[in-house]
Amino acid sequence: MKKLLWSLTVFGVILILPVNGVLEFDKMERLPDFNGTNVYQTENNVYSKAKPTMVELTFVKNPVERSAVCLDGSPSGYHFHPGSGSGAKNWIVQFEGGGWCGTIEDCVNMKKTSHGSSKYMEKQIPFTGILSDKAAENPDFYNWNKVKVRSCDGGSLMGDNENKDAKLQFRGKRIWTAVMVDLMTFNGLREAKQALLSGCSTGGLAAILYCDNFKWYYPKGKVKCLSDAGLFLDATDVAGDRPLRNLYRDLIQLQSVTTQLSNECLKRLNPTSCFFAQNLINQVNTSLFILNAAYDSWQAKSLTPKSADPNGSWSDCRLNIAKCNASQIKFLQGFRTHMVNLISGFTKPSKNGVFINSCFTHCQTENQDTWYSKNSPAVKNKRIAVAVGDWYFERRGAKLIDCAYPCDKTCRNEVVE
């Protein structure tokens, strides 16, 4: 079987599975990129027809001197779009979903991609969904300053180490610090009155890990955090193994992550367990919103690897939930139950928000169709963008947990051919 690094991206379907630190799959399949003009519908039935704003890549200042570099030593970067009007002092900082690497081999492979080197990054990217600058597409945050921090460190921006023999730099922590300092010094982030730290997938985990740190920069400002598809569970796969636990253990050791982890968590659990969001969310002091699909399509694939399915009985189901048989649906229902039970304590504080829909997908904030459009997924008739806005601005409660599959007819379930 061909070995590849595991990549998570807002535009891609993630199909590479971890086995003892080595991430396996035959190929990486991708959804079509967002391209061109789409039509969206607002709450008042008003349509918007516009192409997404393309935003330039900016490199951090003096990256080598600050060691704020990607896996291959190239400069780390971000995309910045300025706010306007009433949003000129408000900020969204979004972590890109990118990938993890827990072995030298995987990290060497990753540095040959945009998730390990800025040499391969797009010079411009579209800002859509929560990053859109159009009121009809993003009613609560359209005129805010927006930043997308690129993922190129292989460790959810938590590492601080290097491997000279393999010419690898694990500098996620320094990338985060450098981006924050640059934005505060040159772009006005220091004067932020309201701010939201968010992220998708591995970036969604980073939003949880850095939430209280982000709040520390603005002790008097209104600061909250949003994790989209970052609730990776320490779950058992169909063969009884725990693939993510193996990957996290290797990553933490390789990238020297332990010293960056929550001290409160480390008093109770080992470092590997403290990289799982399920063991962190109840200790986050800052207001946090968890957005996740109950049948997260990436996690569903990771729990049904080909190595544990030699007869291929999961081949169709793992790519399309509509093709699952009764026993497979039962397994996936168990995963959903596990997720819902784990967040039960998190939902109790009034400061927190939750949107768990019963969809088969991964990452929903940056995709316009799922964030805010005519047919966006909804729970109790509330769409994702509306729920997040209600929570952030404290208009009303936003603790929404969907009924079990297949009850939700608003889902835009992921289907991979």
Which pLDDT tens digit goes with each residue over 100-151? 999 999 999 999 999 999 999 999 999 999 999 999 999 999 999 999 999 9
Does the pLDDT at position 386 exceed 70? Answer: yes
Confidence of residue 7 (pLDDT cuts 50, 70, 90): very low
What's the Cα-to-Cα distance from 20 to each of 24, 76, 252, rounded to whole Å? 10, 29, 13
How many CB atoms are located within 10 Å of the residue 238 CB? 15
Note the pTM of the prediction, 2 decimals.
0.88
CA distance 51 to 132: 10
Domains and CATH numbers, the chain: 57-401 (3.40.50)
What gap in Å lies between CA 78 and CA 90, rounded to an integer? 18
The residue among 284, 266, 286 whose CA lies nearest residue 275 is 266
Lowest-confidence segment of 46-60, 292-306, 377-391 by average pLDDT: 46-60
How far, in Å, CA of 386 to CA of 137, rounded?
Answer: 11
Task: Output the six-digit token pair for 352.
Answer: 């927190």
- Which residue type does 204 have? G
Centroid of chain to Cα 105: 24
Q: What backbone phi and psi angles, to 5 degrees, belong to 293?
A: -85, 135
166: CB partners within 8 A, 6+ apart: 104, 107, 108
| Catalytic residue numbers, as ranges | 201, 296, 362
Rounded CA-CA distance 29/8 in Å is 11
